[in-house]
Amino acid sequence: MSMIKRVPLISLAGLAALGLAPLTSHAYQFDTVEADFQSAYLAEPVELTGRIIDEQGLPLEDAQLRLIGFGDSLANDGEATSSWSAGSFSLSGLARRSVLLEVSLDGYYSEIIPVDLQVEFDQTEVELGDIQLIAKQFGRVRMTFGGDAMFGRRMLDADADGLLGESSDLLHLDSLGKDTEALFEFVEPLLHADDHTAINLETPVTDSPLTPHPTKSYVFHAYSDSAAVLPEVGVDSVSLGNNHIFDFLTDGLSDSLIHLDNIGLTHYGAGMSRSGASDTAFRSTINGVDMSLQGFSNFIGSSYGDDELHVIAYDPDKAGALPSYSSQLDAFVDDESDAGRFVVPIIHGGTEYAYAQTSGMRTDFARTIEHGADIVVAHHPHVVHGIATYDGGDGPKYVIGSLGNFVFDQEVYETFRSYLAVVDVIDGSKGPEVERMSLVPFRLDDYAPRFLAGDALAKMGRHVAHMSTAEAQGADAGWEGAVVYAQGGRLRVAMDESEVTTTDLLDSRSLTLSDNSTGAIDIEPFAHNDALAGLATGSNSSCELGRDLLFIGDFEDQDVDDESNENPLWVQSSSRYVQNSEVHSGTGAVVLLRKSTYSSRTSLWMGNMMEITAGRKYTIKGWHKGDNAGEFRVTVRWMNSSGSTVSHTTQYQQFASDYEWSPFEIDVTAPSGSDKLKVYFRHYPPAEGGDGEVFLDDISIIEWDPSELDVDPSGVYLPTPNGWDAVRCESNTDELAMNLLHRVYE
């Protein structure tokens, strides 16, 4: 198996050579090593550089650049400079903590760029490359679309004990405004950097939650003080066309409309009757561009009982959401398109946690575009989808199949990554149309969004690219996948490959097989905007492609918020935590600590279960290092949809006490009846005296695609861009030559 030697930030011996004496007394000797490393690491500043350009690629002088830092990165907050005549800029003396970079210039839209400054010890400069500013002008409007938002349930009562106002709760009744605003703290600058921001408000707004829906399993509500924060943080309008707006029946919906009107927050997609809901379409002219938005619910609620309990509205006087019936969609799109407006139907529907939309939703998407919609926006699955295009006869239009969650209290692992869609609209010769689109990925921690930077942004880019490319596979006529790739702190979106530049690069490897298998081979992208375009082997081989489901296995801190190294999706303690002084790659790894006098183990695991598919093949792999270590084990727990254990077995054991960074690899098949997975990494007390340390890094959980490829020297070509992370081949040989064709997008 081919391997690349990794170099840690700085070795433990290297710290001793620097003469770093212990600063304080800690429970474990390693705690002192880590504390001293942090002091040395933060004492070494880093420089941020780049270039500001306009739409034609020409340099922009006097653009203002300002860093926005929070909490651990406050040392960088307010650092500022301006671009020189060549458009270049430099900010030096910065702390190695991630920030937002605000770039502004009179007459241009401001850009908010997440920047990863927590780089390796020997890296002294972070180079951002070109940052493009788009001119503000008559006939151009910038819109931002976000997914599902709510402000109740676990936010008000974190432990679900019925007691409000406890310290662990995010929202408190006596400080709802301040607490709700804090949920948007790390993304608010971007919400103010456009002309209009629209999100899905998936909750009634009522201060009297006395009429819960009698047959729904989950009912939400938000207090008016929480909703009142939305305009302050940059939200301009909300869609109410969803399956939760009727959670507190007629009184709850009536209260919602009254409160939102009093707040001055534009809303659409629900009303006190179907006619009233239809009349809520939001029409506005911004910078000379006429636009219209309307919300629809694909979810009817027929299983809840008679019509009075359905989610949707009826005439003459049944309150609810506007349904996405063909007649309603046609009426809205036809009227608004005929009036020459930029038409945005926002449709709430699909299957929760599914990565592709239902056939019924796709039919609705296609129908609205055929009738004249300029872009289609959707949500409800709580996970993001790829970006598709559909040509209804007047050229392709973008379809955002699901925006995922924006501010939401779910605890399903797959819902924690999402994005905002930033759409520039231009009034062209044929009327208003999408000029460009980009996606701004974020991660939800404590139910609130934090923008991603660095490798984490690139991983999200490959994930969305993979789903976007899949939109065209086996689809009906007219459907294609948009081209999505990471660049400049964003995910860029293009209609097709004619709008991008690609470069193909060859990665040749010589592999030693064991039992006729290469094992899992990391594809190792050359760049953030890289995809696997082809595969060839020196001998006839049967190959599988895999994707890493574990986006937190590198233990890097690449979201921009007020904490560093928090990695909250891992269950940590004083004996197991993310540290920076001993790593296999990057800047983060985890340490598991035990003393010889202890009788119990310490274990690291994810707090949330991972969705898997019974019968599928998986590989759990990573790197570990031992220093006076006790026994190390990896155990795998398969569970059903209710969380009950299907099987729980130890799959790997390491008994050595001292070993350098070395790989482990576990091949498993999800047993029948399993839907979810948890993996536990356990360290037992060392046999020798003193402290024992096990370090873990670069952990992956690879899900192998069930379709195998027949590969030979002529090679196979793959649809790109994609998110393949690993390849595994079987061949009747001891040595195998492999060529990986990489395609870089820009």
pLDDT bin (cut points 50, 70, 90) of residue 472 is: confident
Class of domain 12-42+550-704: mainly beta
- Matching CATH number, 46-132, of 2.40.400.10, 2.60.15.10, 2.60.40.10, 2.60.120.260: 2.60.40.10
- In the block, tokens 């502004």 appear at 104
Using the predicted structure, report yes or no on whether residue 2 has a pLDDT greater than 70: no
Tell me the pLDDT tens digit for each residue of 354-386.
999 999 999 999 999 999 999 999 999 999 999
pLDDT bin (cut points 50, 70, 90) of residue 26 is: low
Q: Which residues pair with 197 in a beta bridge?
A: 144
Using the predicted structure, report yes or no on whether residue 21 has a pLDDT greater than 60: no
Using the predicted structure, report yes or no on whether residue 23 has a pLDDT greater than 60: no
Q: From the CB of residue 515, how many other CB atoms can be counted at a distance below 10 Å?
A: 6
Which of 73-77, 473-477, 739-743 shows the lowest per-residue confidence on average (mean pLDDT)?
Answer: 473-477
Using the predicted structure, report yes or no on whether residue 8 has a pLDDT greater than 90: no
pLDDT bin (cut points 50, 70, 90) of residue 605 is: very high
C-alpha to C-alpha distance for 19 and 702, rounded to whole angstroms: 42
The per-residue pLDDT for 12 is 38
pTM: 0.94
- Between the alpha carbon of residue 220 and those of residues 207, 212, 403, 441, 452, the distances in Å are 12, 9, 20, 26, 28
Contact 113, 472 (CB under 8 A): no
Using the predicted structure, report yes or no on whether residue 575 has a pLDDT greater than 80: yes
User: How many Cα atoms within 13 Å fall on the side-chain side of residue 666?
Assistant: 23
The single-letter code of the amino acid at 76 is N
Using the predicted structure, report yes or no on whether residue 584 has a pLDDT greater than 90: yes
Using the predicted structure, report yes or no on whether residue 574 has a pLDDT greater than 60: yes
Tell me the pLDDT tens digit for each residue of 177-230.
999 999 999 999 999 999 999 999 999 999 999 999 999 999 999 999 999 999
- Specify the 3-state DSSP secondary structure of 622: strand
pLDDT bin (cut points 50, 70, 90) of residue 471 is: confident
The per-residue pLDDT for 7 is 31
| Span 3-19, average pLDDT | 36
Using the predicted structure, report yes or no on whether residue 14 has a pLDDT greater than 60: no
Tell me the pLDDT tens digit for each residue of 216-272.
999 999 999 999 999 999 999 999 999 999 999 999 999 999 999 999 999 999 999
Tell me the pLDDT tens digit for each residue of 686-701.
998 999 999 999 999 9
Contact 378, 347 (CB under 8 A): yes
The per-residue pLDDT for 473 is 66
Contact 296, 323 (CB under 8 A): yes
| Span 66-79, average pLDDT | 97
Tell me the pLDDT tens digit for each residue of 48-61.
999 999 999 999 99
Homologous superfamily in CATH for domain 140-451: Metallo-dependent phosphatases (3.60.21.10)
| Span 19-23, average pLDDT | 36
| Span 449-457, average pLDDT | 97
Q: DSSP label at 384?
A: B
C-alpha to C-alpha distance for 546 and 702, rounded to whole angstroms: 6
Ordered by start, the domain boundaries in the chain are: 12-42+550-704, 46-132, 140-451
Contact 471, 386 (CB under 8 A): yes
Q: Which residues pair with 545 in a beta bridge?
A: 727
Q: What is the mean pLDDT of the chain?
A: 95
The per-residue pLDDT for 16 is 38
129: enclosing H helix or E strand: strand 125-132
pLDDT above 70 covers a percentage of the chain that reads 96
Q: What are phi and psi of 95, to 5 degrees?
A: -70, 150
The per-residue pLDDT for 302 is 96
The per-residue pLDDT for 224 is 98
The per-residue pLDDT for 476 is 78
